[in-house]
Amino acid sequence: MARRRPLTGCGLEAALAVVGGKWKPIVLWNLAGTPRRFGELRRLVEGISEKMLIQQLREMEADGIVSRTDFREIPPRVEYALTEFGVSLAEALRPLCEWGTAHVARIEARRAEVVSAR
Amino acid sequence: MARRRPLTGCGLEAALAVVGGKWKPIVLWNLAGTPRRFGELRRLVEGISEKMLIQQLREMEADGIVSRTDFREIPPRVEYALTEFGVSLAEALRPLCEWGTAHVARIEARRAEVVSAR
DNA sequence: CCGTATCCTCTACGATACTG
DNA sequence: CAGTATCGTAGAGGATACGG
């Protein structure tokens, strides 16, 4: 992610600094509506490594869109959830999400062309 | 960008595959409302190299959100504009854009902390 | 003016092993 | 269960020079 560049123009860059990247959208998506435990997320977000998951969660926590609750039990139990701020982001994301859903086929098709072109 | 991974879950990944990255949001933003010439874009999108600009434009063209018009004049004159598809994307992007604008200060503050932390 | 062609850097992301 | 610690890699992005 481009962390040091000042976020200019419209707020898109600021927003993308928070939800951009390979995993954050999926993590956010899986936290929408309900809190999740770490291991639960790891299973839900297919293909993610523990390192990446924890890293993304920490960043989202630092950005104030995710909260972490350690129940201090044994065995360990930690829950992640969207903050109010995170929920507001999810709301703002919805139209884009729907746009994507509506056009996945089209997008994937073009991508496939590019790949087969080489 | 993660080009080969299948786009799963909600459409967010599909959408981000199209507007994600460092430059595309800004380029899109600068094309919103009016067509732009290449050199014009290069000046508007501050800091971008010609290589990056043309690359992003080509990808956006391949994704069908931008159209390229070569007027075949001398000196050369080429115009880039959003397609209808591109406009629909820009629409879908607006809430996120506004969310970002509303919270830039907060986001940048956290980022500053992180940087100063090392 | 509108690009291409190279070469290079940097970092996001991945694989693996280990711990309280 | 919920993480840390390392090491390694691919590709996004940057710098510079040249071409129609």
Residues 6+ apart with CB under 8 A from A99: B11, B15, B88, B89, B91, B92
Question: Which nucleotides of chain D have an atom under 7 angstroms from any protein CB?
Answer: 1-6, 11-17, 20
Q: Against a cut of 0.85, is the pTM above it?
A: yes
Given this model, what pLDDT does residue A1 score?
45
| pLDDT per residue as tens digits for the range B13-69 | 999 999 999 999 999 999 999 999 999 999 999 999 999 999 999 999 999 999 999
- pLDDT of A111: 72
pLDDT grade, residue A9 (50/70/90)?
Answer: low
Look at residue B111 in the predicted model and tell me its pLDDT: 72
Q: Closest nucleotide to B77's CA, by C1' atom?
A: C1
Chosen for mutation from A99, A110, A113 (greatest number of chain B CBs closer than 10 Å) is A99
pLDDT at A80 (0 to 100): 98
Separation CA B2–CA B21 (nearest Å): 10
Chain A CA closest to residue B27: A9
What average pLDDT is seen over chain A? 89
pLDDT tens column, A33-54? 999 999 999 999 999 999 999 9
Phi, psi of A68 (to 5 degrees): -120, 130
Q: Which helix (H) or strand (E) holds B79?
A: strand B78-82
Sign, CA dihedral B96-B100-B102-B107, equals positive
Question: Among B20, B46, B114, whose Cβ lies nearest the Cβ of A20?
Answer: B20
* pLDDT exceeds 90 at position A118: no
B70/B61 Cα distance (integer angstroms): 13
Domains of chain B: 11-117 (1.10.10.10)
Shortest CA gap B49–chain A (Å): 15
Nearest CA in chain B to A104: B14
Chain pair A-B, CB pairs under 8 angstroms? 160
pLDDT class of B116 with cuts at 50, 70, 90: low
How do residues B60-114 score in pLDDT, each as one tens digit?
Answer: 999 999 999 999 999 999 999 999 999 999 999 999 999 999 999 999 887 766 6
Cβ–Cβ < 8 Å for A18, B101: no
Above 50 in pLDDT, residue B7? Answer: no
Interface-testing mutation among B1, B7, B10, B87, with chain A (most A C-beta atoms within 10 A): B10
Encoding tokens for residue A37? 């435990």
Q: Are A72 and A78 in contact (CB under 8 A)?
A: no
pLDDT exceeds 70 at position B117: no
CA of A68 vs chain B CAs: smallest distance (Å): 17
